Amino acid sequence: MPSRSRRLLTTAIGTFLLCCVSVSSWGQTSSSAEPTRIALRAARLFDGKSERALPDAVVLIEGSRIQAVGTGLAIPSGTRVIDLGDVTLLPGLIDAHSHLLLDLGPLNGDGSLIPPVAQSSTAERALLGAKLGREMLEAGVTTVRDVGNSGVNGDVALRNAIQRGWVQGPRISACTRALAPQGGQFPTLQPPAQSLIEQEYVTISGVEEARRAVRQALMDGADCIKVIVDNGHNLLSLAELKVIVEEAHRMKRPVATHTTTDESIRIAVQAGVDSVEHGYSLPDDVLAPMARGRIFLVPTDGPMDACDLFDAEGGDAERQRQTKERCRRSIARAQERLRRAVAAGVRIAAGSDMYIVLPGLTRGQASVKWILAYAEAGLKPADILRAATVNAAELLRMQDQIGSLAPNKLADLLAVEGDPLKDIRALNQVRFVMKNGQVVLDARAHSTGQP
């Protein structure tokens, strides 16, 4: 290249870089600037722990943190006031069993994992997760624990993108690929298709493979370890699960276990896991050990009216009736085991396990609908709210940051019409959402400057 051309190119590049620096720094706030101060006012407040709502509530927020919570607190001069009116403020909801990077379509589909795994890249599914994550946030779910089926660490990528402000979504506790017996959660696959298994799961056979898998997950960025204890084909051994728990706990990571049979639940409890996910059968002999060991049950049961969404292939009326009846019996059994667990002192953390499309609902609204179904098993509104706030925060080992409204906690809040302590269905009427002190949704409030 002639020297004059090189000089022109160098000048052009330098000018371009200077413009980029100028544009990127435009509007940035100095690190010495004071954090924004906000006061939220509402008719009522549930703090995440109490049985009663606090009246005439005021929450003082500075930056991303709560500074004070109380009745009729004095609001410092210069504070931006958001008067939410006749609503109930409560901590941001937590879904401890989400699948943001998975969408299997309508409930009446075949429920197969194969199409999304075989036809969508991890990058595409992460973009789907950004969409569904925004829907979760707007429904008042400010934190999720994403428990796998997210390709090769797609949940970690989405978590990091949200943390960096590239996209808006809930705070994510990511599990990376789930640890599983041979086959993962897939049906029998022909040899050419078996590579799909390792895209979703780290399959293990033996104690040292189990130990290595945990260490790999931690290197990949796991906040928690998800384990498929039983998969219909195989069952992990107690020795394998014990070493998984040992390695995870050594690095202060909780262990969540997919368990659907009596045998797998017993193995999980004996190994000292942090949570039993699903636990549809939950034999009586595990209830006391779970309560003593402070092992959470994360029920993922839907409401009884979900059975009405099933539509048999071909419109066969008798087949449709049989499908709905099996669904109702299954939910009735799940509700019965939830009542037994609560009566035995087992702690409950809310989880939706939502990965389907419900007509007329966003992913967030559908997830909240599943959590509200605990009421059908007889749980009191306060217990459901605690399951979705302070209990779930403890399970995620984030109780110092989220789960309740108290000084120094992160300012994750939502406001709903009505009083969810009296009628839990009020959670469907979200009017305001804040995460990290930033307003995400304001469908009702008006702001004024404090004189």
Separation CA 351–CA 12 (nearest Å): 55
Structure token pair of residue 43: 């008719």
For residue 363, what are the contacts with CB-CB under 8 A and spacing of at least 6? Answer: 100, 132, 135, 136, 139, 354
Residue that is written with structure tokens 């999980």 in the block: 268
Confidence of residue 63 (pLDDT cuts 50, 70, 90): very high
pLDDT(5) > 80: no
- Position 108 scores a pLDDT of 60
Does residue 384 contact residue 342 with C-beta atoms inside 8 Å? no
Confidence of residue 448 (pLDDT cuts 50, 70, 90): very low
Confidence of residue 110 (pLDDT cuts 50, 70, 90): low
pLDDT digits (tens, 9 = 90+) for 407-429: 999 999 999 999 999 999 999 99
Q: Tell me which H or E stretch contains 287.
A: helix 287-292
Query: Structural domain boundaries of the chain?
Result: 37-91+408-449, 93-395
- Chain centroid offset of residue 76 CA: 35
Mean pLDDT of the chain: 88
- Position 319 scores a pLDDT of 81
Confidence of residue 353 (pLDDT cuts 50, 70, 90): very high
Q: Phi-psi category of 2—alpha, beta or left, where left has phi over 0 and alpha has psi -120 to 50?
A: beta
pLDDT digits (tens, 9 = 90+) for 264-280: 999 999 999 999 999 99
Segment 334-347 shows an average pLDDT of: 96
Kindly tell me the sign of the dihedral angle through the C-alpha atoms of 331, 333, 338, 343. positive
- Position 111 scores a pLDDT of 61
Does the predicted TM-score (pTM) go above 0.85? yes
CATH topology of domain 93-395: TIM Barrel (3.20.20)
Does residue 309 contact residue 359 with C-beta atoms inside 8 Å? yes
Tally of CB atoms within 10 A around 318: 8
Structure token pair of residue 50: 């109490």
Segment 3-21 shows an average pLDDT of: 43
Percent of the chain beyond pLDDT 90?
71
For residue 377, what are the contacts with CB-CB under 8 A and spacing of at least 6? Answer: 301, 334, 335, 336, 338, 339, 342
Region of poorest pLDDT, from 19-23, 127-131, 260-264, 385-389: 19-23
Structure token pair of residue 112: 């197969």
pLDDT digits (tens, 9 = 90+) for 277-294: 999 989 999 999 999 999
Segment 387-409 shows an average pLDDT of: 98
pLDDT(32) > 60: no
Separation CA 303–CA 371 (nearest Å): 9
pLDDT(115) > 80: no
Alpha helices in 344-421 (DSSP H): 363-372, 381-387, 390-395
- Position 185 scores a pLDDT of 75
Separation CA 150–CA 123 (nearest Å): 10
Burial level of 188, CB count in 10 A (0-12/13-18/19+)? Answer: exposed
pLDDT(22) > 70: no
Separation CA 176–CA 157 (nearest Å): 10
Nearest one of 252, 247, 178 to 212, comparing CA atoms = 247
- Chain centroid offset of residue 284 CA: 28
Helical pair 122-138 and 363-372, crossing angle rounded to 10 deg: 60
Neighbour-count burial for 142-164, b at 16+ CB within 10 Å, e otherwise:
bbbbbbbbbbebbbbbbbebbee
What residue type is assigned to position 201 of the chain?
Y
pLDDT(93) > 80: yes
What are the beta bridge partners of residue 174? Answer: 146
Neighbour-count burial for 65-94, b at 16+ CB within 10 Å, e otherwise:
bbbebeeebebeeebebbebeebbbbbbbb
For residue 138, what are the contacts with CB-CB under 8 A and spacing of at least 6? Answer: 362, 364, 430, 433, 440, 441
Separation CA 201–CA 178 (nearest Å): 5
Does residue 404 contact residue 49 with C-beta atoms inside 8 Å? yes
Q: Which CATH class is domain 37-91+408-449?
A: mainly beta
Kindly tell me the sign of the dihedral angle through the C-alpha atoms of 320, 325, 331, 334. negative
pLDDT digits (tens, 9 = 90+) for 312-337: 444 678 888 888 899 999 999 999 99
